[in-house]
């Protein structure tokens, strides 16, 4: 697999990362298998050019995702680029931001223990705390870099930033851009993680151009549209009650059927590249084509999909492919 630099830094990662959240968090608990998840991590490390990006967070589980990765990192730390996050706590049925400097430092030490490593490659602020100036939180994170516990810092802008923009009528991620400018004055931002996929392109408007202009890497979260863009989900088949997609407006039977032309377009492009190429690989290749500093981070807990996703790094889309994907219809259904 090719390597990509995170912005203007010398840090390099495999072109396709591994989102580890589904292994312990966010999807149906009945389908979680520790052994299968471990095999998926090993597969990603085998294919990751010695720098496979593993993306986790202390809140996933909570804590159990980092513990799972630690079992692998104990033996294979040299093959991985470890990204984890801080700043969100799991409350009773909701999430609570905590950006207090003392908490951030304690949380980092706890993540290091669970991950069984002495350094975190990318430490991301999961959410800013409205009760704490973000400069104070970021300053505490910068102290962790100076202490040698963290190599670089990033900002996670998945979820809330886009929704906030829509509620206020502002451009998506406008608030994130302002926050990034504040952070840059304290300590350099190495990477931003935000959603980007064929059916969710808001980051192309201003956030990705900002990263390009400022030499900041871009980690594309949910590049497969929570599984929809793989073409393996059947409209009307339903989801288990604890799967968030069971309550998601874009995953109703009606909306999944209405958005089939998007999957059909991915299938057409895949067919031009051979019978072994999948819609998921085309979707990931489209993300990769958005810039040399863009790294998709598809989430999976299965070894098979981890291998297939990594294979997208070798797929080169033509100008015809990119034009067809550009002209696909906009996705129907709310995404927030």
Give the catalytic positions in this structure.
60
Q: Give me 171's structure tokens.
A: 């451009």
Q: How far apart are CA 40 and CA 296, in angstroms?
A: 16
Q: How far apart are CA 122 and CA 166, in angstroms?
A: 29
Q: What is the DSSP letter of 203?
A: G
Cis peptide before 62 (omega within 30 of 0): yes
Q: How far apart are CA 230 and CA 279, in angstroms?
A: 6
Cβ–Cβ under 8 Å, residues 66 and 115:
yes
Q: Strand pairing partners for 88?
A: 97
Q: How far apart are CA 288 and CA 83, in angstroms?
A: 19
Q: How far is CA 240 from CA 1, 93, 243, 247, in A?
A: 35, 18, 5, 10
Q: How far apart are CA 284 and CA 269, in angstroms?
A: 12
Cβ–Cβ under 8 Å, residues 332 and 258:
yes
- Helices 174-184 and 160-168 cross at an angle (nearest 10°) of 120
């Amino acid at each position: 697999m090719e390597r990509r630099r995170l912005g203007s830094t010398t840090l390099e990662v495999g072109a396709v990362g591994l989102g580890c959240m589904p292994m312990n968090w966010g999807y149906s608990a009945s389908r979680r298998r520790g052994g299968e998840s471990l095999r998926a991590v090993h597969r990603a490390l085998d294919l990751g050019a010695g720098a496979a990006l593993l993306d986790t967070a202390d809140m996933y589980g909570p804590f159990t995702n980092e513990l799972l990765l630690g079992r692998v990192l104990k033996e294979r730390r040299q093959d991985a680029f470890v990204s984890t996050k801080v700043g969100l706590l799991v409350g009773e049925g909701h999430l609570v931001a905590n950006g207090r400097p003392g908490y951030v430092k304690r949380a980092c030490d706890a993540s290091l223990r669970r991950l069984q490593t002495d350094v975190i490659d990318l430490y991301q602020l999961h959410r800013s705390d409205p009760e704490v100036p973000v400069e104070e939180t970021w300053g505490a994170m910068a102290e962790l870099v100076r202490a040698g516990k963290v190599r670089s810092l990033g900002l996670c802008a998945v979820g809330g930033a886009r929704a906030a923009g829509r509620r206020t009528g502002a451009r998506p991620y406008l608030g994130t851009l302002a926050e990034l400018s504040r952070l840059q004055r304290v300590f350099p931002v190495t990477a931003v993680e935000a959603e980007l996929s064929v059916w969710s392109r808001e980051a192309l408007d201003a956030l990705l151009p900002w990263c390009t202009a400022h030499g900041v890497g871009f980690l594309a979260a949910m590049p497969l549209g929570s599984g929809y863009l793989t073409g393996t989900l059947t409209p009307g088949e339903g989801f288990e009650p604890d799967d968030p997609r069971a309550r998601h407006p874009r995953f109703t039977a009606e909306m999944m059927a209405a958005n089939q032309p998007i999957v059909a377009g991915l299938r057409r492009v895949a067919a031009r590249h051979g019978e072994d190429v999948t819609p998921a690989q085309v979707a990931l290749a489209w993300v990769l084509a958005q810039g040399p500093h863009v790294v998709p981070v598809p989430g999976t807990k299965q070894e098979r999909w981890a291998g297939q996703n990594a294979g997208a790094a070798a797929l080169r889309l033509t100008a015809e492919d990119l034009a067809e994907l550009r002209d696909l219809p906009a996705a129907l259904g709310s995404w927030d």
